[in-house]
Chains A and B, each alone.
Chain A
């Protein structure tokens, strides 16, 4: 089983990352009833014997002692990281996995990239090496950051550069949160453009996400809950935005939106962690969706956003889920799926979905989508794993790389 390391940079990166670890723990808790440290857990967590302090040795088998996330938390101001360390997830992170400074980057890409980059370079390399050494077979680095700020954008892309130099064989998946039209940072266009250049050259795959889309999805869900149609009560736990069941009782403003991104990452890596009838690994995603080296921007969408209390999912509903995936409302970026040109498309389905359902829906949706001439049947399918019982009846994830006509 391969391992992945998550590098969270900047305020946005750390907040999303925090939600990701919370959801990951819950997902594994639902599956892993006996508390044994198995291969699925080892992809994101280490099992450490903390009786001899934080420097305890890693335990590779047997009961879970103390789980530590394979993560690196970087931020140039202390507020966000401190909050994480005081929250319920404090035991999941090692003090040696943090890099913080006091004053922040002031929304300036140059400060993040050039000044803090040079200053902290040694430190970052050392911590990355340490984390990599704990991994048996490191497959991928996930970088989570925003493009509009200073640290996430500047220092985040500096780290990306570093990763390419130090670990050229390991895949670099970057989840970038792009600023929306009404962004509150004045310099965000500059920061984004400077960061884009770095992403173009050094990332293997980029998943751009727009705040506006996340916001719309959250609104849609609220409407759905509040409209309370007869006979359609939504299962609270099933919301893609929910952190229900977590230890926190107060939900903070961006939490719902961050949960969506966290879910995306979880589903993306599910094949690496659980077994299924047609596995789809991370390197397969990169192989199939990146036809040319620089065209590595993937648009993602997630369905369903919620499940109704009715547990049986008849095929009409299933087909509806597939159709939804290609609608604007379910995408995490503002783009029109029907009028754009597709280079390639990947469908990752989890849950009780069979090959025949996949085939049927592909046949059905193909005529309405424009594929590029040399890739008319550009579909990649995978069905990694059944879902744990308290989650949705079927979750789907779609990635596409396409050109959009603006």
Chain B
């Protein structure tokens, strides 16, 4: 089954490019650490999922590139073509001359309707090239104008045009200390609109990835390229082919469905966080070795203590003791309650791993059976040179604090009516803002009361 990626805005296009690079270099690598047959089956599956065969022999990514200004797209296309290993289809991009100016209203109300036909035509074409369409993944940032505004509009159109396909939005949470002054407004507007159209939102926070680059990867001068590569690695570890829980010898035929069905049992809870261990600089990989029990233990504690990486985890946080009937409001502070979790394991000796610690009912809410709340995928084929790696996709309170903080700041600005004239100029009125605030307050309160 194939996944079509829609890359929106500068951020979306830059990350999309890194993602396809990682996927391509992973399948070409000889670090599979598994049998040849297994490796070939993995490569076939990945190629079918993300690339289409072209006459020239170079695989073309199943992607549509959208941006309102031409510079980033031309840079992305040329970088991909230069690699020689893969490329983008030369017709699958759409750009205009003048950007959205960090203005959500401009992206959503002006550019969206104006270019809807052209963009949906491109998506339709990519979708038709797939033998079996598995769904859509959109990549965008929340802070800018195109990724956020036009992205929200395109998501809605995708939902209308393909009502039965899976739709996953990969959103980038901006740095807390400001990349764009109106980022809080843009984020609030984006999140509330996406909540209505998408199946789930997979979130990466710039602050977190920046810390990973600084502390784990030991990069001194972090550039956006470094940040994007870490994000691409984390995405790849989830999206590459895996054996699903149902067992069987083949790779999963329905990647998005298998991901979304267990993780989003209730439509009110759609925010997914992603954690991946281990992460380290490539130069240190050769000197490190890992054990599954160690990795699993760390991963579990990352989940419980709401940590972002394997350093600096708060080991004091523990789940509440079972047997005592404590109502959820008395749960110890900082403990991260989950609705559902998915763990993806890749590498040597994967079948011997014991994941019982993740099935502990105290990790989860009371209204879901732990058997249903936890899913595991195990694949013997290693990913991207890591001998053993584990990824966690979690529908839990990971994003509660960042969400609360963004809504708070946006409200603060809204109360003084700052910058509103920029949005009303393009058609977003104060009532629209209020609706969005209401939606998000509802989400925050649902997650708080888990």
Which residues of A line the B interface, CB within 8 A? 1-2, 39, 136-137, 139, 275, 277-279, 281, 283-284, 286-293, 344, 346, 354-357, 359, 362-363, 366, 373-381
Q: Is the CB of B178 within 8 A of A287?
A: no
* Leading 9 A-B pairs by shortest Cβ distance: A283-B101, A379-B178, A137-B97, A356-B222, A291-B418, A374-B416, A275-B71, A288-B181, A377-B178
Among B103, B180, B225, the one with the most A-chain Cβ atoms within 10 Å of its Cβ is: B180
Q: Enumerate chain A residues within 8 angstroms of B225, measured Cβ to Cβ.
A: 277
B179 near A380 (CB under 8 angstroms)? Answer: yes
Instruction: Choose one: B180, B415, B421; the contact of A288 (CB below 8 Å).
Output: B180
Using CB atoms, name the residue of chain A closest to B68: A281
Contact (Cβ within 8 A) A1 B181 = no
- A288 vs B269: C-alpha distance in the bound complex, in angstroms? 32
| A278 and B97 contact, CB distance less than 8 A | no
Beyond the given pairs A356-B214, A356-B220, A381-B179, 15 more chain A to chain B contacts, judged by CB atoms under 8 angstroms and listed by A's residue number, are: A275-B75, A277-B14, A278-B179, A281-B69, A286-B101, A287-B101, A291-B418, A354-B221, A356-B221, A357-B221, A359-B210, A374-B412, A374-B418, A375-B418, A379-B178
Decide: B413 and A377 in contact? CB cutoff 8 A.
Answer: no
For the complex formed, measure the closest distance between the CB of A379 and the CB atoms of chain B, giving whole angstroms.
4
Let me know if B223 is at the binding interface, CB within 8 A.
yes
Chain A residues, CB < 8 A from B145:
284, 287
Q: Smallest CB–CB gap between B440 and chain A, Å? A: 18
For A380, list chain B residues within 8 Å (CB). Answer: 102, 178-181
Cβ contacts under 8 Å, A137 to chain B: 97-98
- Are A377 and B176 touching (Cβ within 8 A)? yes
Inside 8 A of B401's CB, which chain A residues have their CB?
Answer: none
- B101 near A291: Cβ-Cβ < 8 Å: no
> For B220, what are the chain A residues with a Cβ–Cβ distance below 8 Å?
356
Which residues on the B side are within 8 Å of A1 (C-beta)?
A: 69-71, 97
A292-B418 contact given A275-B71, A356-B222, CB 8 Å threshold: yes
Query: What is the bound-complex CA distance between A403 and B56, given in angstroms?
Result: 61
The answer to whether B99 touches A284 (Cβ under 8 A) is yes
**Alpha-carbon distance A279/B71, docked complex (angstroms):** 9
In the complex, which residue of chain A has the Cβ closest to the Cβ of B184? A377
Contact mask B37-76 → A, CB, 8 Å, 1/0? 0000000000000000000000000000000011110110
Are A279 and B10 neighbours in the complex by a CB distance under 8 Å? yes
| With known contacts A277-B225, A279-B10, A359-B175, A291–B69 Cβ distance under 8 A | no
B329 contacts the other chain (Cβ, under 8 Å)?
A: no
> Is the Cβ of A278 less than 8 Å from the Cβ of B10?
yes
Smallest CB separation, A120 vs chain B (Å)? 30
Interface of A is mostly: mixed
B182 interface contact, C-beta 8 A: yes
Across the interface, which residues of A come within 8 angstroms of B177, CB to CB?
A: 359, 362-363, 366, 377, 379
A284 to B145, CA, bound (A): 9
Determine the distance from Cα of A97 to Cα of B252 in the docked complex, in whole angstroms: 66
- Complex Cα gap A379–B413 (Å): 14
**Within the complex, what minimum Cβ distance (angstroms) separates A67 from chain B?**
21
Q: Is B224 an interface residue (CB 8 A)?
A: yes
Interface residue B409 (Cβ < 8 Å from any Cβ of A): yes
Contacts of B167-203 to chain A: CB distance below 8 A: 175-182
Cβ A344 vs Cβ B181 within 8 A: yes
- The residues of B that contact A359 with a CB separation of less than 8 Å are 175, 177, 210
Q: Are B224 and A277 in contact (CB under 8 A)?
A: yes
In contact, B224 and A284 (Cβ under 8 angstroms): no
Partner among B102, B181, B224, B421 whose Cβ is within 8 Å of the Cβ of A292 = B421
* Assembled-state Cα–Cα distance A290/B420 (Å): 10
Whether the Cβ atoms of A2 and B421 lie closer than 8 Å is: no
| In the bound complex, CA of A281 to CA of B14 (Å) | 18
Residue contact A283 to B98, C-beta cutoff 8 Å? yes
- List residues of chain B with CB within 8 A of the CB of A375: 181, 413, 418
Contact B210 A284 (CB under 8 A): no
User: Which residue of A is nearest B421, CB measured?
Assistant: A293
A290 to B101, CA, bound (A): 13
B222 and A2 form a contact (CB under 8 A):
no
Known A-B contacts A287-B422, A381-B179; the reply to A355 vs B415 at CB < 8 A is no
Instruction: Tell me, yes or no, whether B4 is within 8 Å of chain A by CB.
Output: no
Q: Which B residues are in CB contact (< 8 Å) with A288?
A: 102, 180-182
Known: A281-B99, A286-B101. A355 touches B224 (CB 8 A): yes
A selection of 18 A-B contacts at a CB cut-off of 8 Å is A275-B71, A275-B74, A279-B71, A279-B72, A281-B98, A288-B181, A290-B419, A291-B419, A292-B417, A356-B220, A356-B223, A359-B210, A375-B413, A377-B177, A377-B409, A379-B178, A380-B179, A380-B180
- Nearest B-chain residue to A271, judged by Cβ: B71
- Min Cβ gap B214→A in Å is 7
C-alpha gap A281/B421 in the complex (Å): 19
A290 and B176 contacting across the interface, CB-CB below 8 Å = no
Query: Any chain A CB within 8 A of the CB of B227?
Result: yes
- A residues in contact with B421, CB < 8 Å: 292-293
A35 to B103, CA, bound (A): 36
CB-based nearest A residue for B225: A277
Chain B residues near A379 (CB-CB < 8 A): 177-179, 181
Alpha-carbon distance A354/B418, docked complex (angstroms): 30
A288's nearest neighbour on chain B, judged by CB, is: B181
Chain A residues contacting B176 (CB-CB under 8 Å) are 377
Query: With a CB–CB cut-off of 8 A, which chain B residues contact A136?
Result: 97
Tell me the smallest distance from the CB of B222 to a CB of chain A, in Å. 4
B102: chain A residues within 8 A (beta carbon): 283-284, 287-288, 380
Q: Bound complex: CA of A381 vs CA of B175, how far in Å?
A: 11
Bound-state Cα–Cα, A374 to B181, Å: 11
CB–CB A378/B178 < 8 A: yes
- CA of A222 to CA of B55 in the docked complex: distance in angstroms? 64
B409 contacts which chain A residues (CB < 8 A)? 376-377
Nearest CB of chain B from residue A37's CB, rounded to whole Å: 16
Instruction: State which of A39, A293, A346, A354 has its C-beta within 8 Å of the C-beta of B222.
Output: A354
Residue in A283, A292, A355, A362 whose CB lies within 8 Å of B223? A355
Q: Within 8 Å CB of A362, what residues of B?
A: 177-178
- B333 vs chain A, min Cβ distance (A): 26
- B98–A139 contact, CB under 8 A? yes
Closest residue on chain B to residue A277 by CB atoms: B224
Contacts of A283 in B (CB 8 A): 98-103
Interchain CA distance A344-B422 in the complex, whole Å: 15
CB distance from B389 to the nearest CB of A (A): 26
Q: How far does the Cβ of A234 sit from chain B's closest Cβ, in whole Å?
A: 26
Residues of B close to A366: CB separation below 8 A = 177
If A287-B102, A288-B102, A292-B418 touch, whether A374 touches B413 (CB-CB below 8 Å) is yes
Residues of the B chain whose Cβ atoms lie less than 8 Å from the Cβ of A363? 177
Contact of B72 among A275, A289, A290, A357 (CB under 8 A): A275
Within the complex, the shortest CB–CB distance from B218 to chain A, in Å, comes to 12
Residues of B within 8 A of A291 (CB): 418-419
Q: Which residues in B have their C-beta under 8 angstroms from that of A284?
A: 99, 101-102, 145, 180
Do B69 and A279 touch across chains, with their CB atoms under 8 A apart? yes
